Amino acid sequence: MIVLVLIDQVLGTGFLALIYSLAVLLPNLAVGARRLHDIGRTGWWELISFIPLIGGIILIVWCATDGHAQSNQWGPNPKAVQASGGAAVAY
């Protein structure tokens, strides 16, 4: 993104960074929702970021916390890996 902004400034345009931002919007939302699912929250909590300052801080804290060790309603723990014997091993 930084490189594209610099290229846009050199060229005097603004569409390269905009195109990149639009291209990564949906994957970023998906990753954020998956991270919130790991800590047992619904993906709709991403909307808390619209609250100035406080919402962003809350999301950063939630994203930094460790996920639940066991499965939750959204699926198994992503850190658990299937071993060759079929048993889940948590890292």
Per-residue model confidence as pLDDT tens digits over 16-69: 999 999 999 999 999 999 999 988 899 999 999 999 999 999 999 998 988 777
Provide the percentage of residues in the chain whose pLDDT is more than 70: 88
What total of structural domains would you count in the chain? Answer: 1
pLDDT over 60 (residue 71) = yes
| Residue range(s) defining the domain that contains residue 43 | 2-89
**Closest alpha carbon to 39 in 63, 58, 20, 15:** 63
Residue 25's Cβ-side half-sphere holds a number of Cα atoms within 13 Å equal to 7
Q: Contacts from 78-82 at CB under 8 Å and sequence distance 24+?
A: 78/34, 78/38
In this structure, what token pair is assigned to residue 21?
A: 């931002």
Instruction: pLDDT band for 2, please (50, 70, 90 cuts).
Output: very high
Q: Where are the alpha helices (DSSP H) in the chain?
A: 2-11, 15-38, 54-64
Averaged pLDDT, 76-88: 60
